[in-house]
């Protein structure tokens, strides 16, 4: 791969990928609306507002693949979500259609299905049950990926990321944790696969607690290596055990599902 674009490169996940993907492509084109510092060897930095279609077309032109992380990563007002996540994601797919149809990894979220109960094992046939406006925007992005593949042959991987952190910070993350190293390997497998079509994957490491089924995407060849189990004793010693009927335990979206409507609180 000659040039790989990462949108949202200044965000929590984007920062983790920047160094770890060095050398995977000849050039990493890094984009955000925040200062990304100086470009390192093999890097290009392009500040871009994803709500500006013309700017996004220029951003996408000449790339061989896109990791689309850009946009709001937590709940916000509808107007903010509209520009950052809905209009911005549309612009990425539309720019890809106009500039060579590069393969796209769309960073979705478990919050697109967060109202499903914890005891239900989710797979690629699981219907949307968003737990917040942020989750609604991810449902929109997943639908865009389907539309642009069916109509325009733009291959994409939709990754419903659980919790991509250096280590889990609460008990829920013992199930949802995705190590940065496992995510990087997933990215490499996605862009190296001879055929991708439009495939959804759940982003979680090989944790002891398993809520999600990726067997439908086995053809990509991704096999996570890390497990949150190494952090269990530490978390159980430092955090209280929740009750079985705590809403944050019952629902897969956790606190996102149990929070009030953002528009009413802000």
Q: Which pairing describes strands 43-47 and 198-203: parallel, antiparallel, or unpaired?
A: unpaired
Residues in the chain: 266
Q: Looking at 134, 148, 149, 202, which residue is catalytic?
A: 134
Q: Closest Cα to residue 168, out of 125, 138, 214, 208?
A: 208
Q: How far apart are CA 240 and CA 42, in angstroms?
A: 46
**Alpha-carbon span 131 to 145, nearest angstrom:** 20
- The 10 Å CB-count burial string (b at 16+, else e) for 212-246 is bebeebeebebebebbbeebbeebeeeeeeeeeee
Report the C-alpha gap between 165 and 163 in whole angstroms: 6
Look up 134 and say whether it is catalytic. yes
Q: What are phi and psi of 31, to 5 degrees?
A: -135, 145
Strands 3-7 and 43-47, sheet pairing: unpaired
Catalytic residue numbers read: 134
């Amino acid at each position: 791969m000659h040039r790989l674009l990462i949108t949202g490169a200044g965000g929590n996940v984007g920062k983790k990928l920047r160094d770890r993907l060095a050398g995977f492509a000849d050039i990493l084109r890094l984009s955000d609306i925040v200062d990304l510092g100086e470009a390192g060897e093999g890097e290009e930095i392009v500040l871009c507002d994803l709500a500006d279609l013309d700017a996004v077309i220029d951003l996408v032109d000449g790339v061989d693949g896109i990791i689309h992380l850009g946009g709001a990563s937590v709940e916000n007002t509808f107007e903010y979500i509209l520009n950052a996540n809905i209009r911005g994601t549309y612009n990425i797919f539309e720019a890809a259609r106009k500039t060579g149809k590069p393969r796209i990894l769309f960073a979705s979220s478990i919050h697109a299905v967060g109202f499903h109960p914890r005891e239900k094992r989710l797979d690629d046939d699981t219907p949307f049950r968003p737990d917040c406006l942020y989750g609604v925007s991810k449902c929109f992005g997943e639908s865009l990926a389907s539309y642009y593949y069916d109509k325009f042959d733009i291959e994409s991987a939709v990754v419903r990321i659980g919790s991509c952190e250096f280590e889990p910070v609460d008990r829920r993350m013992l199930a949802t944790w995705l190590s940065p190293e496992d995510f990087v390997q997933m990215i490499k497998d996605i862009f190296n696969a001879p055929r991708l079509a439009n495939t959804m994957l759940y982003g979680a490491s090989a944790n002891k607690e398993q809520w999600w089924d990726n067997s439908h995407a086995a053809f990509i060849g991704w096999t996570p290596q890390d497990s949150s189990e190494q952090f269990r004793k530490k978390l159980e010693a430092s955090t209280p055990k929740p009750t079985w009927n705590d809403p944050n335990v019952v629902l897969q979206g956790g606190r996102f599902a149990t929070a009030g409507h953002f528009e009413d609180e802000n």
